[in-house]
């Protein structure tokens, strides 16, 4: 769930990434009972992605998403991480 959330945030924006866990559960998926555990994995995955964010942007552009420049994807990742950290309260 965490990795899909990160990819959705990079591809479509922060709101998509944040909404995925809820949509996953609505569709019958089972997540960790504690919200803090789910948040841990989301933050961990997003930070791990920061190492390769420039590499993932290139294939997405080649697949028809020219707006997903390395800078745009980095900005989306930063926004997503900030939103996750704000969820901590």
Gap between the Cα atoms of 69 and 55, Å rounded? 10
Answer for the pair 68, 57: CB distance below 8 angstroms, yes or no. yes
Evaluate if residue 24 carries a pLDDT over 80: yes
Q: Is the pLDDT of residue 26 over 90?
A: yes
| CA trace torsion 47, 50, 51, 54 (10° rounding) | 160
Residue carrying the six token digits 């009972």 = 33
Determine the average pLDDT of the residues in 32-58. Answer: 91
pLDDT over 80 (residue 21): yes
At 62, is the pLDDT very low, low, confident or very high (cuts 50, 70, 90)? very high
Q: How many residues does the chain have?
A: 89
The residue among 35, 36, 37, 3 whose CA lies nearest residue 17 is 3
The confidence score (pLDDT) of residue 81 equals 96
Reported pTM: 0.90
Q: What is the reported pLDDT for 19?
A: 95
Average pLDDT over the chain, rounded to an integer: 93
């Amino acid at each position: 769930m965490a990795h899909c959330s990160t990819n959705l945030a990079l591809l479509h924006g922060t709101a998509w990434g944040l909404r995925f866990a809820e949509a996953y559960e609505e569709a019958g998926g089972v997540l960790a009972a504690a919200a803090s555990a789910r948040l841990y994995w989301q933050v961990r995955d997003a930070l791990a992605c920061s190492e390769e964010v420039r590499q993932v942007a290139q294939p997405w552009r080649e697949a028809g998403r020219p707006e997903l420049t390395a800078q745009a994807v980095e900005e989306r990742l930063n926004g997503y991480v900030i939103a996750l950290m704000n969820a901590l309260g």
